[in-house]
Structure 1
Amino acid sequence: MTLHLEKPFDSLWSTPFDAAIAQQGEIYRSKEGRRTLQFEAQGQSYFLKLHQGIGWGEIIKNLVQLRLPILGARNEWLAIEHLKSVDVGTMTAAAYGERGCNPAKQLSFIVTEDLIDTISLEDYCKDWVTSPPDTKLKVRLIKKVAEMSGKMHGSGMNHRDFYLCHFLLDETIAADSDEWPKLHIIDLHRAQIRAKVPYRWQVKDLAGLYYSALDIGLSKEDVALFLGSYSLDLDKKCRQQIERKAMKLYLKDHGRAAVLPK
């Protein structure tokens, strides 16, 4: 059994696993043995992800499809700790627990602080085509996303759901402040951590990010700025694979070809 409780849960949850199971709140997801809900404790908002086992059938189905099944909250816990260790903005975990050896029935949970007063980059950038942002601010934001991406990949972690919607921008910090932009990478339950990110997973992450940015009016100069700020070398073949994969994702989701940056 593994258990880690920060305030206020170290005093509120005398029996943490029972408390996590019984916790009530606004449910965001309830599927495949995982429940995600928002709740309040001592006036602060939190998110709980509760994993109660996905069963052998779901595990085998994932393996047959050559997908690694998500068995519990450990992935997210480790990913949060990893990103913090390399100074990449992410969530803050307030509680984590895991018990049971049977992977099909393992019980685990993670509680994270709600990132209030934030907006996803998907929403923040969605009107850039019709209402272009200030050039200096756009440059700072692109460089920040690239730097965070490079740090994450350079440290051995890949996200597996790497899209603009999983970057949250802190709206409490003024755009003319030296601290802007402050970003948090979220939705880490599928993340993988190794000594080095395999080439194909690096391509997958960057293709997902590029795909999610194809409709916000980026220019070739913006793309070049990202590549120059990413900190890891991407050769011509790699860049071509990222573009092809992004275009393929776009065609699949939108039923039409994307217009590449000009």
Structure 2
Amino acid sequence: MSIEPAAAVPVLLLSVRDEYAGRRWAPPGHHWPAQASAVGGLDLVAGGTWLAVEPGGADTGPVAACLLNGFGTPAAEGARLSRGELPLFAVRGGRLGDLDLDRYDPFHLVVVRPSGARVLSWGGSGGRPAELELPTGLSVVLNDGPQGLAESRTASERIRTLMAARAAHFRARFATEPRPRPRPGAATAEEAWGGWLPIVTGDGLALDDPAALVQRREFGDGRIWGSSSISLLALGPGSVRYDFAAVPAEPGGCEGWRRVEL
């Protein structure tokens, strides 16, 4: 996440979706008739999304919401609701206070507007939600929360080490590359995102590198965890640009990028 209030495009968001291999999904589109203007990828298992965009109108402006799974106390099995409904709820103006949060497993919900971004965090049943406004500059939001400092964090040293390596490598890389100015009318993702695009698509790291942004991990019990898609959003006053790619077969490639029509 890059926030520069004085820039022509104040807010830039990179979202990498990591999920178990084999979980079926569909690329971004208008998948929800009851919320026809919202756009996002569709989780074909639970029907929700990991990232939703509402282009808005002249009065409201664009808004996006990105979901990350968190750590903490899970919801009761019989009462659990899918977290995939939360980005859609957020972009239509919903507030967490209107939800029975005890019915959701832990999460972090990043809500983005041209004016900035905030992170809504929930550590699970019996806890209290937390809200943080992200500062100007570069921010990283992990499954352990903003900057990896959520109250509820993973107990796994391995996962914590991988997240820290990923955050440290890519925060440094984005800081050394000129900030792009993605114009809504730019013809290609390469034209829109410039020097950030090779970084976004993996920065040449192997899929199993500890710092890999585009990753693939085998847990030794038949389960494979990895990156399935990458989203790039640029939000400015009255405009939003959304570029999307399924993860390339090899890190470092730019094949498959497409601009999502809003």
Q: Same fold (TM over 0.5)?
A: no
TM bracket (short chain):
under 0.3
Of Structure 1 and Structure 2, the greater strand share is in 2
Q: Please report the TM-score for the alignment, with normalisation by the length of structure 1.
A: 0.24
Of Structure 1 and Structure 2, the greater helix share is in 1
Higher relative CO (Cα under 8 Å, sequence separation at least 6) belongs to 2
